[in-house]
Amino acid sequence: KGKKPVDFSIDKNIHEYLNRLRFESNACRAKLFQYHNGGSFSNGKSMKKMSMTHESCHPGMVPTFRGNSDHVLSLFSDMLELVHANEPALFNTATLRDSYFKSYLQSNHVLMFSVLPVRNTKGDEIGCILCEWCAWEFADRVEQDRFFDKFTEARNSIDYVLSTERKR
């Protein structure tokens, strides 16, 4: 018997949701980060990390995928506070307090962003979706209410797709 081919339909679906979200919101990038265990500290405590698993970029934008795996979650505590709020609010990067997260955004030329949690069927946060705008000509075009609806809809779709993946 031959091996069963690898099923890429879930990744394809996630990319389609991110592409649509990025396009409909004039974002420069839309990314999915997933949390995972990253080994353990010397005291045996589990190390929590996140890795970017999917990214949609506006044509001509520099992708940030390279170097975006195995980030220690503790470095992104400011972002995680916003994730926990579960509000698709728009944030100006310049207004953030100085932090690793702010430096991360600035190094990727992000002027404005929004972030929402991704959850499993039990309601646990298993990752987040980050939308980024790198030019005011794009950021200024965002219709807030419409964006909130589109972002929430995309997140809910990705929640669902990820929940179907785990059952296989």
Higher pLDDT: 76 or 1? It is 76
Give the pLDDT confidence of 20-75 residue by residue, as tens digits: 999 999 999 999 999 998 777 778 777 789 999 999 999 988 888 877 788 889 99
Give the pLDDT confidence of 7-19 residue by residue, as tens digits: 788 999 999 999 9
**What is the structure's pLDDT at 32?**
97
CA dist 116 → 4, 65, 73, 125 (Å): 35, 19, 15, 10
Give the torsion through C-alpha atoms of 112, 29, 12, 67, to 10 deg: -110
Opening angle at CA 26, ends 23 and 31, nearest 5: 65
Dist CA 131 CA 69 (whole Å): 17
**What is the structure's pLDDT at 167?**
53
**What is the structure's pLDDT at 68?**
79
Beta carbons within 8 Å of 84's beta carbon, 6+ residues apart: 117, 125
Give the pLDDT confidence of 84-119 residue by residue, as tens digits: 999 999 999 999 999 999 999 999 999 999 999 999
3-state secondary structure of 120: coil
pLDDT band at 1 (very low <50, low <70, confident <90, very high): low
pTM greater than 0.75: yes
